[in-house]
């Protein structure tokens, strides 16, 4: 069998793949930072004609699958395969492995760090020192007096791997926590399940952790944003599409809420000043979609992906991290 690898996999895990495949073509997108879109990916897949593809960023569509005659398995090094057309994958009866929670630690750690950074005005006060503003007679102790995380109420919208890890990291700070997630049946220890209205009206910090689906697109709109208290901090480290960012801009620019921490924008990278309008507000801390970017994430995704593939080829589908396990009966029976 031939394996085509378009995601970064650490050397130790790549060596394990040599025991499974006769040929491994290692061409991660990180080598040149180039993502393959539909036409180029279809051309490459037709030329290489692999049995298995490991991807992360490349666009996998109906056209790509139609040009992949020998393909038997896709492995996507993402928690949610947003680069893949799931309808096309299921139509082609194509098993799809993903890597859940590969970046949960990275995102959760940066979330906690960003909360402290924002609440204690670290970036602004650092710039104040760099600009030479710390002069005799100034009183930085009073100018840059911030807020503690201690006793703050944090409301998570979505309570998957990232939110759960963030909650664990926030526990020693003495935070009170609650969450909304229709796919989580009950409260988790001291973290109570509640509704969106309660989270937006009562939390001191609202943190968004949602995938992009038809139901979640613009799910966070003015109806909920208008419920927040004047000093509430809004955080979105998931995807821009789940928030009505025009509505968010309105409440932030009018100082109706305390501020926002955002790692995602509607247009990435931003092309115009309009694309940057949220990031340019003085009560917003914006980073360039890097919450899940650590060297350790590559190790995590490598271990998860290779372990899942080993289970898959042993026909242990229950442990193969399949996004679409329901198709395996049909695949096994030649349907």
**Catalytic residue list:** 239, 268, 289
Q: Are strands 153-157 and 176-180 parallel, antiparallel or unpaired?
A: parallel
Full DSSP string of 234-302: EEE-S-GGGB-HHHHHHHHHTTSSSEEEES--SSSS--STTTTTTTTSTTEEE-SS-TT--HHHHHHHH
- Is the peptide bond preceding residue 246 cis, with omega within 30 degrees of 0? no
Full DSSP string of 49-113: --SEEEESSS-B-HHHHHT-TT--EEEE-SSS-TTB-HHHHHHTT--EEE-TTTTHHHHHHHHHH
**Residue reference for tokens 């000093």:** 231
Report the candidate in 193, 261, 199, 191 with the shortest Cα–Cα distance to residue 225.
199
Given strand 52-55, what is the order of strands in its sheet? 23-26, 2-5, 52-55, 73-76, 96-98
Report the candidate in 82, 86, 28 with the shortest Cα–Cα distance to residue 53.
28
> Hey, which bits of 6-48 come out as E strands?
23-26
- Rounded Cα gap, residues 221 and 284, in angstroms: 18
Q: Are strands 73-76 and 52-55 parallel, antiparallel or unpaired?
A: parallel
Q: How crowded is the C-beta side of 289, counted as CA atoms within 13 Å?
A: 10
């Amino acid at each position: 069998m031939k394996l085509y690898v378009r995601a970064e996999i650490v050397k130790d895990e790549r060596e394990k793949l040599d025991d499974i495949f006769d040929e491994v073509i290692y061409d991660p997108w990180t080598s040149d930072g180039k993502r393959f879109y539909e036409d180029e990916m279809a051309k490459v897949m037709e030329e290489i004609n692999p049995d298995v593809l490991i991807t992360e960023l490349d666009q996998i569509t109906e056209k790509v699958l139609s040009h992949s005659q020998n393909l038997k398995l896709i492995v996507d090094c993402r928690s949610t395969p947003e680069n893949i057309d799931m309808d096309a994958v299921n139509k082609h009866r194509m098993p799809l492995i993903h890597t859940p929670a590969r970046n949960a630690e990275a995102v959760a750690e940066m979330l906690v760090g960003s909360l402290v950074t924002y609440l204690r005005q670290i970036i602004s006060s650092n710039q104040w020192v760099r600009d030479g503003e710390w002069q005799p007679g100034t009183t930085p102790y009073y100018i840059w007096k911030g807020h503690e995380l201690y006793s703050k109420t944090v409301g998570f919208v979505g309570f998957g791997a990232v939110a759960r890890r963030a909650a664990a990291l926030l526990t020693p700070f003495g935070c009170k926590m609650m969450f909304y997630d229709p796919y989580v049946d009950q409260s988790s220890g001291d973290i109570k399940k509640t509704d969106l209205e309660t989270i937006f009206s009562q939390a001191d910090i609202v943190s968004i952790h949602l995938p992009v689906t038809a139901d979640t697109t613009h799910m966070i709109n003015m109806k909920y944003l208008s419920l927040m208290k004047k000093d509430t901090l809004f955080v979105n480290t998931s995807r821009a599409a789940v928030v009505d960012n025009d509505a968010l801009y309105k409440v932030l620019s009018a100082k109706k809420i305390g501020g926002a921490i955002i790692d995602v924008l509607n247009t990435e990278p931003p092309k115009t000043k309009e694309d940057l309008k949220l990031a340019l507000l003085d009560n917003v801390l914006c980073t360039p979609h890097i919450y899940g970017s650590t060297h350790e994430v590559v190790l995590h995704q490598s271990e998860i992906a290779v372990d899942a593939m080993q289970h898959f080829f042993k026909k242990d589908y229950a442990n193969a991290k399949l996004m679409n396990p329901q198709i395996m009966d049909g695949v096994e029976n030649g349907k």
